[in-house]
């Protein structure tokens, strides 16, 4: 497992835009209908998004030591005035709000830096210093945010760090605000919910390569910024592309009602496991009458299944959690803020906001199951289930990040899996083989493209995408099919209200026209791998075994940890790498002796004896076994194709 240390460089606002086309007339008609249906005259969110502004970072960019741009909020300066025809007016409005950048006062003593990464970082002032909640995704953006805070609030030391949950944009920048040495010395406690480390590293390492590749589409970090390109991701503008770090928590929060005080800052926690993340918690700050909602209530419908890929989240648990939040803290909260978007002020407004969010997830869950039990499939439910008017017209429940469509399909997936019960779908051809057959049945590629052109011009973009995708998979070099499919994806992106849908469509169009656009973000960083437990590390190695090439290989490796007296037996047989701590009757082929901290060297590059010895791993026995193991490792492809075979 070799995480790339140099992520692909993202598209810059200064680069020429991809060859984009104008919007088709039917998109203007759809936008006009949407403007008449939604309350665009309501400006409360704009007042809230700018309230408490102290200062902006000038310029709004963050660079690496070598000059690479890791974050550029100034690239969104075009988000002014009315939405052009190439952007859904609702998404344009959301992007204008999310692009607000700077240091903001939530209440006296609680401050946020927003617009310096996908997420927000919060600073809570204590007796001697400041407690940092959710230090962004990259060390460079977190360091810039802390510098902006200190410029206007004084050189306060960081006296504590809190991770609200196990997603990387809420902890990856931790080494930009504190150091491992300060944490190890006990000067800076790090608080997190139970299960945080396991879920944080497992999600980003086990399927991290595939998730990072799909995240490149989802967040559009490599797309050109502009009205015909990337305008945001709904939850935030995009992801930064700096260094991802991780420091293990030193204080674990395990129960609702648990109270911890760090540097005089009192925090009362509510456990929210299994909602937006498998390990998550909300935080009430009683001395500030403030409630940190983590990512369980933001100004959008969130994802039940993120487009980058993850386990399906439970909307039933999510809805019940928000009911508990209202019951626990509703009468003691004057302002609610989250690690994305802007705060909500006023006790009654907070209760209404939480109630709408609670009802949203509860409605999706209950209505999906009602229709599942009537025999509806996920796509049918997503297409035909209406929202109640109160949820339809509330800006905070719009599908800018999660969508009504893909969330309802996710609920179906959660309960019934991929198979919809129709025997025709039980054993289908692969997409490429199906594509070849569809094209042949429809009279050949040229005929399909010609018919699809009629669908495109009529505004039936979904059908045009369906049939053209078959042609491109069957004949990837068919220029007319690629061009028209790119045009189709582009128009679908222009019309999407959901920021991540827009990015996925425009990324597909860009790759069809220009080739692969790269994967700017890397999930499995050195710090992430370095925090794997031995069991998780061996699991991560097992995932990389090329099973067919390892069928005939048989080897046994003992791993002895000197700092914990643990001994593991790794066995490769039948194409499977297993591990156990049980005593073994037969000696191993080779024994590796190391500390737990040195062990990740097994997964970070070449498994040569020389490199492992340099990392502090002693080798006793047949060292050639390590070469044999390395020969059957398949680390994956960070840039695998998505829209072509």
- 349-374: average pLDDT: 97
Which overall architecture, per CATH, does domain 425-514 show?
A: Alpha Horseshoe (1.25)
pLDDT at 42 over 70: yes
Are the beta carbons of 133 and 339 closer than 8 angstroms?
yes
Are the beta carbons of 485 and 472 closer than 8 angstroms?
yes
Please, what is the Cα angle at 477 between 472 and 479, to 5 degrees?
85
Q: Three-state SS for 598?
A: coil
pLDDT digits 0-9 by tens, 397-433: 999 999 999 999 999 999 999 999 999 999 999 999 9
Residues 6+ away with beta carbon under 8 Å from 323: 358
**What is the residue extent of each domain of the chain?**
47-414, 425-514, 532-631
- Give the model's confidence band at 524: pLDDT under 50 very low, under 70 low, under 90 confident, else very high: low
pLDDT digits 0-9 by tens, 73-103: 999 999 999 999 999 999 999 999 999 999 9
Q: What is the pLDDT of residue 526?
A: 78
Residue 143, CB-side half-sphere exposure with 13 Å CA sphere: 17
Q: Give the CATH H-level superfamily of domain 47-414.
A: Metallo-beta-lactamase domain (3.60.15.30)
- Give the model's confidence band at 522: pLDDT under 50 very low, under 70 low, under 90 confident, else very high: low
- Give the model's confidence band at 453: pLDDT under 50 very low, under 70 low, under 90 confident, else very high: very high
Q: What is the pLDDT of residue 292?
A: 98
Distance CA 550, CA 234 (A): 44
Q: What is the pLDDT of residue 3?
A: 31
Q: What is the pLDDT of residue 19?
A: 63
pLDDT digits 0-9 by tens, 142-170: 999 999 999 999 999 999 999 999 999 99
Q: What is the value of pTM for the model shown?
A: 0.93
Share of the chain above pLDDT 70, in %: 96
pLDDT digits 0-9 by tens, 295-324: 999 999 999 999 999 999 999 999 999 999
pLDDT at 16 over 70: no
Are the beta carbons of 550 and 571 closer than 8 angstroms?
no
The residue ranking higher by pLDDT, 119 or 642, is: 119
Distance CA 621, CA 600 (A): 20
- The topology under which CATH files domain 532-631 is Nonspecific Lipid-transfer Protein; Chain A (3.30.1050)
Distance CA 120, CA 112 (A): 7
Q: Three-state SS for 429?
A: coil
């Amino acid at each position: 497992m070799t995480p790339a240390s140099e992520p692909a460089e993202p598209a810059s606002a200064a680069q020429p835009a991809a060859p984009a086309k104008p919007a088709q007339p039917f998109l203007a008609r759809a936008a006009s209908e949407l403007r008449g249906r939604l309350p665009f005259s309501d400006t409360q969110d704009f007042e809230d998004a700018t309230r408490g502004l102290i200062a902006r970072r000038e310029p709004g960019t963050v660079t690496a030591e070598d000059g690479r741009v890791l974050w550029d909020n100034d690239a969104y300066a075009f988000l002014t005035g009315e939405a052009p025809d190439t952007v859904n007016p609702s998404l344009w409005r959301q992007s204008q709000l999310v692009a607000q950048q700077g240091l903001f006062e939530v209440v006296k003593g609680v401050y946020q830096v927003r617009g310096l990464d996908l997420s927000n970082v919060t600073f809570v002032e204590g007796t001697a210093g400041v407690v940092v909640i959710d230090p962004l995704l990259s060390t460079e953006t977190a360091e810039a945010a802390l510098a902006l805070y200190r410029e206007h609030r004084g050189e306060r030391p960081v006296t504590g760090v809190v991770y609200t949950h196990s997603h990387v944009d809420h902890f990856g920048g931790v080494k930009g605000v504190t150091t491992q040495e300060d944490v190890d010395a006990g000067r800076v406690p790090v608080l997190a919910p139970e299960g945080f480390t396991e879920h944080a590293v497992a999600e980003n390492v086990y399927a991290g390569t595939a998730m990072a590749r799909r995240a490149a589409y989802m967040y559009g970090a490599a797309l050109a910024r502009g009205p015909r390109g990337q305008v945001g991701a709904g939850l935030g503008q995009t992801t930064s592309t700096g260094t991802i770090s991780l420091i293990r928590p030193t204080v674990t929060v395990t129960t609702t009602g648990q109270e911890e005080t760090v540097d005089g800052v009192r925090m009362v926690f509510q456990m929210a496991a299994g909602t937006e993340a498998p390990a998550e918690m909300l935080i009430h700050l009683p001395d500030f009458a403030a409630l940190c909602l983590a990512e369980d209530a933001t100004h959008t419908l969130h994802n039940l299944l993120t487009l980058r890929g993850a386990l399906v989240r439970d909307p039933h648990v999510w809805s019940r959690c928000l009911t508990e939040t209202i019951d626990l803290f509703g009468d003691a909260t004057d302002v609610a803020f989250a690690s994305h978007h802007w705060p909500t002020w006023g006790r009654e407004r907070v209760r209404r906001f939480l109630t709408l969010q609670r009802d949203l997830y509860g409605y999706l869950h209950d209505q999906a199951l009602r229709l599942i039990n009537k025999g509806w499939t996920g796509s049918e439910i997503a297409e035909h289930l209406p929202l109640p008017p109160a949820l339809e017209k509330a800006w905070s429940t719009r599908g800018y990040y999660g969508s009504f469509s893909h969330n309802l399909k996710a609920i179906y997936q959660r309960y019934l899996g991929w198979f919809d019960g129709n025997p025709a779908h039980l054993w289908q051809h692969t997409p490429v083989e199906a594509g070849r057959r569809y094209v042949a049945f429809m009279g050949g590629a040229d005929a399909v493209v010609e018919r699809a052109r009629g669908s495109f011009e009529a505004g039936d973009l979904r059908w045009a995408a369906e049939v053209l995708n078959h042609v491109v998979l069957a004949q990837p070099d068919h220029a007319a099919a690629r061009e028209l499919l790119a045009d189709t994806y582009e128009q679908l992106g222009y019309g999407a209200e959901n920021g991540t849908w827009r990015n996925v469509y425009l990324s597909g169009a860009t790759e069809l026209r220009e080739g692969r656009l790269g994967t700017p973000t890397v999930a499995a960083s050195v710090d992430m791998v370095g925090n794997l437990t031995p069991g998780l590390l061996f699991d991560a190695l097992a995932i990389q075994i090329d099973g067919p090439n390892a069928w005939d290989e048989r080897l046994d490796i003992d791993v002895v940890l000197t700092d914990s007296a643990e001994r593991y037996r790794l066995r490769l047989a039948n194409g499977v790498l297993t591990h156990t701590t049980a005593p073994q009757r037969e000696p191993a082929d080779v024994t590796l002796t190391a500390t737990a901290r040195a062990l990740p060297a097994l997964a970070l590059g070449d498994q040569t004896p020389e490199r492992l010895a340099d990392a502090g791993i002693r080798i006793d026995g047949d060292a050639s076994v390590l070469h044999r193991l390395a020969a059957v490792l398949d680390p994956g492809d960070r840039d695998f194709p998505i829209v072509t075979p």
